[in-house]
Amino acid sequence: MAGKWALPCVAALLLAISLPFQYLVRREVVVGIPAGEAHSHAHGEEEHAHAGTEPEQDHAGDEDGHRHRHTEEEGHLASEVPLGTNLIPNYGFEVGTREYVPGWLRIFSPQGAVSYREEGEAYEGFSCAAVYAGDAPAQAAGWITMVSELPLDHDVVVEGYVRTELVQGGAYLAAVYEYVEDGQKRAEFAFSPGVAGSSGWTPQAVRLYIPPQATGVYVQAVVFGQGRAWFDNLTLVVEEKASP
Ligand SMILES: [Ca+2]
């Protein structure tokens, strides 16, 4: 259902976050990805011409304190990318202020939705990420983080908990990878099943295969609809790719 928003969403998203991300990436940020239920491979399979031409080490080693440069050949998972452990720092939104959360960016909402960190509300700990779409239905309002290392040719699994008080639409977790096609930046999304209406903390998960030509991997927590939603414990784990 959320699939129809994927393309406009990507365009708006990339425009909105391209710049801030340049800075974010240098600070810390990590990855996030797949989930169990949703598997979406839109385009891209015919684009193997790009495989092996995109350096995978663009951002590797940029974050503070990272001393290992990648030496692996392109297209191979860097040995430093650990499998089976969460790669998202500040995954529980415990660190930050109402307006600024280290490791995460708020996605600009043309519909006026507000994304903020809420203290006193949490699935675990003391705070979480929140989205309020009060005046109009939001289209992908929420939070995004980038994985600092590219788990190429592997699956990513994004998991988390979502609580909602929505009068319309739903709240989702998304695993995203970016790639270049015909000189244009494009993105492929996979969404979790979603949480709607008034729901207590509900587990969500989504899995996505990251192809060799991917140039960036992101995790999103977003609302397509109207009302309030809360997100907490958003993790991304890299796994061996599932057999087709
Ligand atoms: Ca928390």
CA of 21 to the centre of ligand 1 (A): 23
CA distances from 102 to 18, 105, 130, 141, 213 (A): 17, 8, 15, 18, 28
- Token pair 């003391």: residue: 126
CA distances from 56 to 6, 83, 179, 213 (A): 24, 17, 11, 8
Is residue 160 within 8 Å of 244, Cβ to Cβ?
no
Quick one: pLDDT at residue 78? 57
Quick one: pLDDT at residue 244? 65
Quick one: pLDDT at residue 149? 85
Quick one: pLDDT at residue 81? 84
Quick one: pLDDT at residue 50? 39
CA distance 153 to 75: 7
CA of 111 to the centre of ligand 1 (A): 27
CA of 93 to the centre of ligand 1 (A): 5
CA distance 233 to 46: 35
Q: What are phi and psi of 130, to 5 degrees?
A: -135, 155
Assign domain 2-239 one CATH number from 3.30.360.10, 1.10.1060.10, 2.60.120.260, 2.40.30.30.
2.60.120.260
CA distance 175 to 160: 12
Q: Tens place of pLDDT for every residue, the chain, 244 residues?
A: 444 455 444 444 444 444 344 333 333 333 333 333 333 433 333 333 333 334 444 443 344 434 444 444 444 555 578 899 999 999 999 999 999 999 999 999 999 999 999 999 999 999 999 999 998 999 999 999 999 889 999 999 999 999 999 999 999 999 999 999 999 999 999 999 999 999 999 999 999 999 999 999 999 999 999 999 999 999 999 999 987 6
**Quick one: which H or E segment has residue 8?**
helix 6-27
In three-state form (DSSP H/G/I as H, E/B as E, the rest C), the secondary structure along 35-66 is CCCCCCCCCCCCCHHHCCCCCCCCCCCCCCCC
To the nearest 10°, the Cα dihedral for 125, 105, 219, 121?
20
CA distance 80 to 101: 26
CA of 221 to the centre of ligand 1 (A): 14
CA of 237 to the centre of ligand 1 (A): 18
Q: What are phi and psi of 8, to 5 degrees?
A: -60, -35
Apex 175 CA angle, 170 and 177, nearest 5: 135
**Pairing, β 127-146 against β 154-181:** unpaired
